[in-house]
Amino acid sequence: MANGILKGKKGIIFGALNDKSIAWQAALKAHAEGADFVLTNAPIAMRMGEIKNLAATCNNAQIIPCDVSKEDEMQNLITKSMEILGGKIDFVLHSVGMSLNIRKGKSYTELDYKFMHDTLDISAISFHRLMKTLYNSDAMQNEGSILALTYIAAQRVFPDYSEMADAKSLLESITRSFGYHFGKRNKVRVNTISQSPTVTTAGSGVKGFGTFVDYAEALSPLGNANAEECADYIVSMFSDYTKKVTMQNLFHDGGFSFTGFSEDVFNVGK
Ligand SMILES: NC(=O)c1ccc[n+]([C@@H]2O[C@H](COP(=O)([O-])OP(=O)(O)OC[C@H]3O[C@@H](n4cnc5c(N)ncnc54)[C@H](O)[C@@H]3O)[C@@H](O)[C@H]2O)c1
């Protein structure tokens, strides 16, 4: 159903690890809609090599490694992306998240604070670092669009989501705060998409993830949104059809966030 809504637009896409990744699907859609972009991920993730297959499918997109916790790597990414793409950037997707405490099996009541600092840095503060680098490099095209991905655990408690809930709250706050400044100076919009639980490498790391997915599917009148559907929403947010949407947390969850009750929930796990 491609309509060329990103024709002539230039972007940067973070976080395509494998074909399950939301960013991977977003890259495929952005390419189909006519965009040119640079792909990036942490150097360690790149060693797995799969991103090269994605790049080949997307008009031989260039890949630039960047650990989002490193300021110099972020600056290098932005500078090189402008060189490669031949000018300012129209859209950026931050599709990055990682919880060290979840990975190390530490429960919320027993958080290791060194791990927690790294989690907040990689999953939330990196969004500020990205926008600060874009802002100070005057790298964004006027009326461009910047997006990050979040989860409803920022508003409601999902106990096993642990410290990532705190990271997502911070991410959403940074979105509003930086959205103000970028809007004032460049009419750039900054938003988060709050996505349904989706079977990806990051998602599956959360304990009891399968039950999460089934519960959300049963509660949501439209059912869960998958990664491909999320990618459709992402490209619409990068297009010129959404120029006045900014500083928002946009639920893309089949209605989960506003549903109080559904009988289908009783059948989960039966
Ligand atoms: N899967 C879900 O259920 C779900 C739901 C809502 C929101 N999200 C969010 O969507 C985003 C993308 O996750 P996904 O589900 O596609 O999983 P994913 O595992 O495919 O993507 C996460 C990405 O973050 C990257 N990353 C981790 N540390 C990094 C670092 N230091 N520097 C650069 N990149 C780094 C990983 O390499 C990976 O590509 C995340 O923000 C996640 O929290 C996921």
Cβ 143 vs Cβ 98: under 8 Å: no
CB of 46 closer than 6 angstroms to any ligand 1 atom: no
* 0.95 surpassed by pTM: yes
CB of 144 closer than 6 angstroms to any ligand 1 atom: no
pLDDT at 156: 97
Which residues, 6 or more positions from 159, have their beta carbon under 8 angstroms from its beta carbon? 108
In a domain, 131, yes or no: yes
More confident residue, 89 or 208: 89
Q: How far is the CA of 98 from the centre of ligand 1 (A)?
A: 7
pLDDT in tens, 128-181: 999 999 999 999 999 999 999 999 999 999 999 999 999 999 999 999 999 999
In percent, the amount of the chain with pLDDT more than 70 equals 100
CB of 95 closer than 6 angstroms to any ligand 1 atom: yes
In a domain, 2, yes or no: no
CB of 234 closer than 6 angstroms to any ligand 1 atom: no
In a domain, 199, yes or no: yes
Query: 62: part of which helix (H) or strand (E)?
Result: none
Q: What is the mean pLDDT of the chain?
A: 96
What are the CA-CA distances from residue 203 to residues 63, 73, 141, 206, 255 (Å)?
Answer: 24, 26, 32, 6, 19
Q: How far is the CA of 23 from the centre of ligand 1 (A)?
A: 8
How many folded domains does the chain comprise?
A: 1
In a domain, 3, yes or no: no
Query: 145: part of which helix (H) or strand (E)?
Result: strand 140-150
pLDDT at 208: 85
In a domain, 5, yes or no: no
- Three-state secondary-structure class, residue 146: strand
What the block records as the tokens of 119 is 């989690």
- Three-state secondary-structure class, residue 37: strand
Helices and strands, counts by H and E, the chain:
11, 6
In a domain, 193, yes or no: yes
CB of 151 closer than 6 angstroms to any ligand 1 atom: yes
CB of 192 closer than 6 angstroms to any ligand 1 atom: no
- Mean pLDDT for 75-98 is 98
CB of 41 closer than 6 angstroms to any ligand 1 atom: yes
CB of 98 closer than 6 angstroms to any ligand 1 atom: yes
d(CA 40, CA 51): 9
pLDDT in tens, 219-269: 999 999 999 999 999 999 999 999 999 999 999 999 999 999 999 998 887
Q: Probe ligand 1: pick from 12, 96, 127, 253, max atoms within 8 Å of CB?
A: 96
Sheet (strand 89-94) strand order: 36-40, 10-14, 89-94, 140-150, 189-195, 249-252
d(CA 66, CA 166): 24
HSE-CB at 78 with a 13 A cutoff on CA atoms is: 25
d(CA 177, CA 166): 17
Nearest CA to ligand 1 atom 43: 97
pLDDT at 45: 87
In a domain, 215, yes or no: yes
Q: Containing domain of residue 232, as a range?
A: 10-267
In a domain, 1, yes or no: no
CATH number of 41's domain:
3.40.50.720
Cβ 195 vs Cβ 202: under 8 Å: no
Query: Is residue 71 over pLDDT 80?
Result: yes
